[in-house]
Structure 1
């Protein structure tokens, strides 16, 4: 199931309404947009490279997501 759909259908979106990153709250991390969670920055075009700052930001988000995915997979 797509992460955004799972987030909404599980009831977590409703539970955390108003506290998400998009709402100015502490939020959380995700690897897909549409959840209100903090997601990696995407390229604006295929031939435009990401800056070192954006790459470091994306790596941080990916490392947080990977930790949680391992926990979920172990269940």
Structure 2
């Protein structure tokens, strides 16, 4: 499945010890509507990246994302 997403090299960023405060799940197991996303990250040579960090952002039920640490769309001068 390589080639579906264009190659992009940003970083490396250190993510050792970076864990979700509430555990490994974005919502508690068994939450209605919750689902799993699985996959493999490959490097430019097509080899699996064993320590990749995939960042996700979750919208609310209306499809909106609002977080106090993400000031997009707001500005103050």
TM-score band, normalised by the shorter chain? under 0.3
**Structure having the higher Rg:** 2
Relative to its length, the structure with more helix (as a share) is: 1
Larger RCO, structures 1/2 (Cα 8 Å, 6+ apart): 1
